[in-house]
């Protein structure tokens, strides 16, 4: 199944594109997709911005939305199942004030 990934802000700049398309087996989870993304970008600035090697997970300031929904509210990255045409959006949280 094909899934569209849209990048915003710094993540877009580091990826060198605003969109990427991934082909995944049916029944894949958001965690499966995130593993593909970080492995594709291993060794570049996007990997360093997204992935916490010590914790083996996404860094806390990475914001992910799947088809307009927060995956944390849906049970977490390994519980969110993607479907054909799912749209996944990634950006960094903003802080300050």
- Quick check: 91 pLDDT over 80? yes
- Quick check: 68 pLDDT over 90? yes
- Quick check: 97 pLDDT over 80? no
Give me the residue spans of the domains in the chain: 2-92
Q: How far apart are CA 85 and CA 4, in angstroms?
A: 7
Reported as type and span, the H/E element at residue 33 is: helix 30-40
- Quick check: 8 pLDDT over 70? yes
The CATH fold assigned to 2-92 is Ubiquitin-like (UB roll) (3.10.20)
pLDDT in tens, 16-59: 999 999 999 999 999 999 999 998 988 788 888 888 889 888 88
Look at the alpha carbons of 30, 70, 5, 9 in this order and tell me if their dihedral is positive or negative.
negative
Average pLDDT of the segment spanning 56-63:
88
């Amino acid at each position: 199944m094909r899934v569209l990934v849209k990048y915003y802000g710094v993540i877009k700049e580091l990826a060198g594109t605003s969109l990427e398309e991934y082909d995944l087996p049916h029944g894949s989870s958001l965690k499966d997709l995130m593993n593909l993304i970080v492995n594709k970008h291993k060794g570049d600035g996007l990997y360093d911005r997204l992935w916490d090697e010590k914790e083996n997970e996404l860094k806390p300031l990475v914001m992910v939305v799947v088809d307009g929904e927060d995956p944390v509210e849906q049970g977490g990255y390994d519980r969110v199942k993607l479907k054909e045409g799912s749209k996944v959006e990634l950006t960094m949280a903003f802080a300050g004030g």
